[in-house]
Every structure is written in C-alpha cells, then in structure tokens.
C-alpha cells in the first residue's frame, strides 16, 4: 500500500512520501513554520503576529487530503486547533500501549505523536531491539514516553515534563517559546545554584497545563543570573533522566527522539549508561511525518523503511567557474568564510554538510565574526565542528561517532578555539565518506593543508530557516559577509 504522511503539528509542519521530506519552514521561510510566536523571533516581529494561524491553515488546506493512498498522520495539541471537527473521535481518543499500536479507518492511519518520534529513531537505528525515549514539550497524549525492548510504552509525562520546563524557562528568559537551544548555549557560562534547583523541583511537582504561568515571573533571575539558571536546568535535566529512565533499562541499545533530544549534554550522558545510543537527525517535530510513514509502512507493508538524511529537493545550478576543493580549503585556512550548498537539503535543524557555512576552527575570533557579520545572532552562541570520523578521538573525549551533531563532549586540545565552547565542550559531527563524500573531501583538503581534520560547520542561514534553494543561498551570500559561495560544482564570487 502506498503511503503518504502528514504531521498536523503546532510548529514544524511537514509531509513525507517515502522519498521527499517536505519541511514547510524551508519553503514558507518562517522559522518552525510558526508565525504567531513573535517573542521567539523578535527580529521578525514586523511580519509575525501572535494570533496568526495563517500558516497552520494553509498547511491543512494544502496537505490534509484523503485520497486513494493511505493517509497516515499524527497531531499535536494546538496543531489541530482550527480543524478538530475534521478528525474522527477514534483518532482523538487513541492512547497506545505498545509501540506498533495504531488506528486505521477508511484508508486513514493514525498513531500518537510520541510513537512517531520513537519509531523514527528506532527504525533508522538498525537495532533489532532497543529502549527508546521520546521526550518533548507536548504531543497529543504525552510529554515523555519510555519504550522497552518488548515495545511496551510507559508514560513518564508526569515525571519528566522536561521539554515543557525548558520551553517555560526559555520564554521567561527572553529567548521565546522555542528558544531552548539558545538557553542551552548559556549552560557553559553558569554554575550550580540550589535556589533554581529547588524552584524546578517545585514547578514539576505541580499540575502542568499548556497555559501561561505568570507565577514563573516571580523566579528571581536578577539575583542569581541567567547563566546559572541554564546551568542548573541542565543539571536538573540530567538528574531527572538518571532518576526515572536509568532504572527502566531493558537492553544495551537506546534510541532517542523528540525536541529534548536536541540537548547534546543529555545525549552524551546517555552514552555512559548504554553501549549503543542512536539519535537521528530530525528529532524534533520536523521529523514527525517520517516517523508516522515508517510506522505505517512497517505495520501495513511489513517493511522497514529507513529515511535518508538528505531528503529535500535537488536543485539544478550551472555557474561559470568550476570549484577547486584545494583552493577552497586554502581560502578557509587563510581566514575566509564559505557558504557551502550541495544537493538535497538536510532533514532536521542541523546543517550536516549540504547547507552549511564553513570556517577555520583554529581561529579564536571566528565565533564573533560569524555571529556578528553573518548570522546576526547573540555573541555567546557556540559553533560546532565537523571532524573526519577517523580522527575524532584525537580531539574529543567521547566513545562513539556522532554523525548528526547530536552530542556535546569535552574538547581534548587547545588547537581549535573556534569550535570550543566556554566550558571546553563542542557539539561534534563526525563525517565519513559514505555519509557525505563532498563534505568529507572538503574537510580532508583542509586537513592536508593545516593538519587539522575538521571545519567549523554552522547552518547556512541569516535570521531565517536554513537556505533551501540556490537563489536563497545567493541572496544570503550577498547580504552577509560571507567571502565565497559554492553551489554544487561551482564557485560564486561577489565581484
Ligand atoms: Fe514532538
């Protein structure tokens, strides 16, 4: 049976047909495809409106279509606010007990939001059996589930509403509802604070609902500081995970997904408790359509579908000047900053070598230069390294490859200050030839010139979602201080 899947999300709406992963934000050019949380993107406040459901409505109108193929879907609280009456009660009431539970009516297939996160991680992992943690702010019926090796679902929403807590603290600290990753950037600057720890304990012991918590404004950030709030929240997160997840361990494999699985400190911690930890690239709601497709394909067609990391559109581009990798690598070593656009775009929030900005990790000033002149974002935010897989252990204290930039670990050298965060960590991406040959080759050329087998790799964007088309790449190239642009096999210069 042919399947087509749709994620009726509050944010990051997306669809998938087994090949093409259609992440709406990349095309509408609104981050998270969410126009109404203006507070998260103050710089866009002239075009965002807090009560604007336009993009949500447009998405439903265009993609919520029943046809001959199986229509597979998930929904989230808020995502179906404008169309609840179009969804069968059986779907609205469904609460799964096992990972592969589902509901199907008239060619419409439904699973819970957290089942989709869990399935996306598990079926892409290649593990035969696995523990799975799916954890985020809110889905349909859960905030966190644990799935054991026998596929039983345990609801940990009360014990671990950590995504919700990060969102609340992110809002409170001025980073907006979806600004948890920014808040995480401050962790390294802070220190432990018992006051905050007690506050978090109190908050999560109470009743939690999706509404404004004005009482959180009473938290004394002025006295104890933003940085220590972030540090303590990170420690609290790891402590709670250890307390509630570790005793449930049923095998040596672990899969992680849900927005909280973008927390690289937490992910690294899990590698100390499980032999094998798998975290796929699109762990947030932007991967929902893939997970629900995989679930339906597994149940209905008895097929294990693995999704591609690069599942966007392939754009034609023909320039005047062919790219020379040695020359580009030399330019980076000479201090130039490069826009790097190749083939299909990545699924997920991380640039993994097809829509990247590349720079020299040896340069201690590079972080400020990129934050100030290209990304136009807060100066405290760190940049990640993409390191050749065969060399990562020489530079980073971690025990397994990290192909999707999902773990934060200690840096073992002082040779790469450009990618070393203030707490001496980095969120590493390990690259091998099979994963992305062109990306491997450009890092390898830089290695041959400098002896350093890595590049600074950050997403190719300026105050927008990651660039999708060559035209958007050129527009961003022209409006920022990027020095050179590579599109597929061609170089684009400014003059
Ligand atoms: Fe989610």
Q: Are 182 and 188 in contact (CB under 8 A)?
A: no
Q: Could you tell me the distance, in angstroms and rounded to a whole number, from the CA of residue 143 to the centre of ligand 1? A: 8
Are 189 and 295 in a shared domain? no
Are 294 and 329 in a shared domain? no
HEC letters along 158-170: CCCCHHHHHHHHH
CA distance 6 to 63: 7
Q: How many residues does the chain have?
A: 495
**What strands lie across the sheet with 103-105, from one edge to the other?**
21-23, 14-16, 3-8, 70-75, 108-110, 103-105
Q: Could you tell me the distance, in angstroms and rounded to a whole number, from the CA of residue 168 to the centre of ligand 1? A: 16
The pLDDT, as a whole number, for residue 246 is 98
Sequence-separated (6 or more) residues with CB below 8 Å from residue 32: 11, 12, 25, 40, 178
Considering only CA atoms, which of 78, 12, 1 is closest in space to residue 285? 12
Q: Could you tell me the distance, in angstroms and rounded to a whole number, from the CA of residue 217 to the centre of ligand 1? A: 26
CA distance 23 to 334: 36
Q: Could you tell me the distance, in angstroms and rounded to a whole number, from the CA of residue 177 to the centre of ligand 1? A: 14
Q: Could you tell me the distance, in angstroms and rounded to a whole number, from the CA of residue 167 to the centre of ligand 1? A: 12
Q: Could you tell me the distance, in angstroms and rounded to a whole number, from the CA of residue 207 to the centre of ligand 1? A: 20
Are 92 and 178 in a shared domain? no
Residue 250 placed within a domain: no
The pLDDT, as a whole number, for residue 210 is 64
Residue 350 placed within a domain: yes
Q: Could you tell me the distance, in angstroms and rounded to a whole number, from the CA of residue 366 to the centre of ligand 1? A: 34
Q: Are 32 and 25 in contact (CB under 8 A)?
A: yes
The model's pTM: 0.95
- Show the tokens assigned to 114: 């957290």
Are 284 and 335 in a shared domain? no
What is the extent of the structural domain holding 229?
162-244
Are 239 and 297 in a shared domain? no
- Show the tokens assigned to 401: 């490859």
Are 13 and 92 in a shared domain? yes
The pLDDT, as a whole number, for residue 44 is 47
- Report how far apart, in Å, the C-alpha atoms of 275 and of each of 255, 283, 291, 399 are: 11, 20, 24, 9
Are 435 and 487 in a shared domain? yes
Q: What is the mean pLDDT of each run of 10 residues along the chain (495 residues)?
A: 94 96 94 65 45 82 88 92 91 98 96 98 98 96 98 97 93 83 94 97 83 79 95 98 98 97 97 98 97 98 98 96 98 98 97 98 95 86 95 97 97 97 96 97 98 97 93 96 97 91
Q: Which H/E stretch holds residue 183? A: helix 180-184
Number of domains in the chain: 3
Residue 438 placed within a domain: yes
Q: Could you tell me the distance, in angstroms and rounded to a whole number, from the CA of residue 145 to the centre of ligand 1? A: 11
Residue 199 placed within a domain: yes
Residue 319 placed within a domain: no
Q: Could you tell me the distance, in angstroms and rounded to a whole number, from the CA of residue 78 to the centre of ligand 1? A: 12
Structural domain ending residue among the three candidates 197, 219, 244: 244
Q: Which domain CATH number covers 435?
A: 3.90.870.20
The pLDDT, as a whole number, for residue 49 is 46
Q: Are 13 and 33 in contact (CB under 8 A)?
A: yes
The pLDDT, as a whole number, for residue 48 is 41
Structural domain ending residue among the three candidates 301, 317, 344: 301
Q: Could you tell me the distance, in angstroms and rounded to a whole number, from the CA of residue 15 to the centre of ligand 1? A: 15
Residue 484 placed within a domain: yes
Q: Could you tell me the distance, in angstroms and rounded to a whole number, from the CA of residue 178 to the centre of ligand 1? A: 12
DSSP string, 110-135: E--HHHHHHHHHHHHH--SS-EEEEE
Q: What is the CB neighbour count within 10 angstroms for residue 161?
A: 23
Q: Are 40 and 178 in contact (CB under 8 A)?
A: yes
Are 297 and 331 in a shared domain? no
Q: Could you tell me the distance, in angstroms and rounded to a whole number, from the CA of residue 135 to the centre of ligand 1? A: 7
Q: Could you tell me the distance, in angstroms and rounded to a whole number, from the CA of residue 21 to the centre of ligand 1? A: 17
Q: Are 116 and 295 in contact (CB under 8 A)?
A: yes
The pLDDT, as a whole number, for residue 178 is 77
- Show the tokens assigned to 102: 């589902």
Are 416 and 466 in a shared domain? yes
Q: Could you tell me the distance, in angstroms and rounded to a whole number, from the CA of residue 214 to the centre of ligand 1? A: 24
CA distance 383 to 255: 25
The pLDDT, as a whole number, for residue 10 is 87
Q: Could you tell me the distance, in angstroms and rounded to a whole number, from the CA of residue 137 to the centre of ligand 1? A: 7
Are 293 and 436 in a shared domain? no
Q: Could you tell me the distance, in angstroms and rounded to a whole number, from the CA of residue 435 to the centre of ligand 1? A: 26
Are 295 and 368 in a shared domain? no
Q: Could you tell me the distance, in angstroms and rounded to a whole number, from the CA of residue 404 to the centre of ligand 1? A: 18
- Show the tokens assigned to 408: 């934060």
Q: Are 322 and 47 in contact (CB under 8 A)?
A: no
Q: Could you tell me the distance, in angstroms and rounded to a whole number, from the CA of residue 325 to the centre of ligand 1? A: 39
DSSP string, 401-422: --TTS-EEEEE--SS-GGG--T
The pLDDT, as a whole number, for residue 52 is 66
Q: What is the CB neighbour count within 10 angstroms for residue 105?
A: 10
Are 204 and 116 in a shared domain? no
CA distance 396 to 411: 5
Structural domain ending residue among the three candidates 226, 244, 262: 244
The pLDDT, as a whole number, for residue 116 is 98
CA distance 153 to 168: 26
Q: Are 254 and 245 in contact (CB under 8 A)?
A: no
Residue 265 placed within a domain: no
Q: Could you tell me the distance, in angstroms and rounded to a whole number, from the CA of residue 370 to the centre of ligand 1? A: 30
- Show the tokens assigned to 168: 């609340």
Residue 35 placed within a domain: yes
Q: Could you tell me the distance, in angstroms and rounded to a whole number, from the CA of residue 300 to the centre of ligand 1? A: 24
Q: Could you tell me the distance, in angstroms and rounded to a whole number, from the CA of residue 117 to the centre of ligand 1? A: 7
């Amino acid at each position: 049976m042919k399947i087509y899947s749709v994620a009726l999300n509050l944010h990051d709406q997306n669809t998938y047909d087994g090949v093409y992963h259609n992440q709406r934000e990349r095309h509408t050019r609104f981050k998270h495809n969410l126009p109404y949380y203006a507070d998260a993107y103050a710089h866009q406040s002239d075009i965002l409106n807090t009560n604007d459901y336009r993009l949500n409505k447009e998405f439903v109108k265009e993609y919520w279509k029943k046809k001959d193929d199986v229509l597979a879907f998930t929904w989230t609280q808020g995502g179906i606010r404008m169309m609840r009456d179009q969804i069968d009660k059986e779907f609205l009431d469904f609460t799964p007990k096992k990972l592969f539970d589902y509901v199907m009516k008239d060619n419409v297939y439904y699973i819970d939001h957290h089942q989709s996160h869990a399935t996306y991680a598990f079926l892409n992992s290649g593990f035969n059996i696995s523990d799975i943690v799916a954890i985020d702010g809110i889905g349909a019926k859960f905030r966190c589930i644990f799935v054991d090796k026998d596929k039983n679902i345990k609801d940990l929403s009360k014990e671990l509403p950590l995504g919700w807590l990060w969102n609340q603290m992110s809002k409170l600290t001025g980073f907006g509802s979806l600004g948890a990753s920014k808040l995480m950037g401050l962790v390294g600057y802070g220190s432990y604070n018992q006051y905050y720890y007690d506050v978090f304990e109190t908050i999560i012991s109470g009743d939690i609902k999706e509404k404004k918590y004005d009482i959180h404004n009473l938290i004394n950030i002025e006295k104890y500081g933003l940085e220590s709030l972030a540090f303590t929240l990170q420690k609290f997160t790891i402590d709670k995970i250890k307390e509630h997840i570790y005793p449930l361990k049923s095998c040596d494999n672990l899969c992680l997904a849900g927005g909280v699985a973008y927390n690289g400190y937490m992910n690294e911690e899990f590698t100390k408790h499980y032999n094998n930890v798998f975290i796929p690239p699109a762990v947030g709601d932007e991967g929902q359509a893939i997970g629900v497709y995989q679930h339906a394909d597994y149940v209905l067609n008895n097929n294990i579908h693995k999704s591609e990391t690069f599942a966007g559109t392939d754009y034609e581009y023909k320039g005047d000047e062919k790219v020379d990798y040695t020359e580009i690598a030399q330019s980076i070593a000479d201090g130039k900053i490069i826009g790097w656009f190749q083939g299909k775009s990545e699924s997920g929030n991380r640039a993994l070598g097809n829509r990247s900005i590349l720079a020299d990790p040896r340069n201690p000033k590079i972080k400020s230069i990129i934050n100030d002149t290209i990304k136009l974002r807060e100066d405290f935010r760190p940049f990640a390294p993409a390191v050749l897989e065969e060399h990562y252990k020489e530079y980073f204290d971690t025990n397994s490859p990290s192909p999707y930039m999902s773990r934060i670990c200690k840096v073992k050298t002082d040779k790469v200050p450009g990618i070393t965060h203030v707490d001496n960590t980095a969120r590493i991406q390990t690259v091998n030839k099979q994963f992305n040959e062109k990306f491997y080759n450009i890092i390898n050329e830089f290695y041959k010139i400098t002896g350093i087998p890595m590049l600074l790799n950050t997403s190719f964007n300026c105050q927008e979602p990651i660039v999708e088309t060559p035209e958007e790449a050129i527009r961003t190239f022209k409006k920022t201080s990027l020095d050179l642009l590579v599109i597929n096999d061609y170089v684009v210069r400014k003059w």
